[in-house]
Amino acid sequence: MPQWVFNCPQCNTELTHSQIYVGDHNPRDPFTVFSKPELPDGGLKLACPNCHKTSIYLRHQLTYRAS
């Protein structure tokens, strides 16, 4: 299932933000557009499960990752 992810700036580990519900859309269709989820003002503070560095992530840092 496709998902929105962040990459840790310290170790480049991929952190899953959320799964993307594709419904009737074909996730491999290049013309299908999935809107990025909203994040809190000032970003989302997350700790990396690999290196434990805490970082603030902004909406523009979300990346679409196919399944």
Q: Please count the structural domains in the chain.
A: 1
Does 1 map to a domain? yes
Along the 67 residues of the chain, how does pLDDT read in single tens digits? 889 999 999 999 999 999 988 877 666 666 667 889 999 999 999 999 999 999 999 999 999 998 7
3-state secondary structure 23-37: CCCCCCCCCCCCCCC
- Domain range spanning residue 1? 1-27
**pTM, to two decimals:** 0.82
The confidence score (pLDDT) of residue 21 equals 84
Does 45 map to a domain? no
Does 58 map to a domain? no
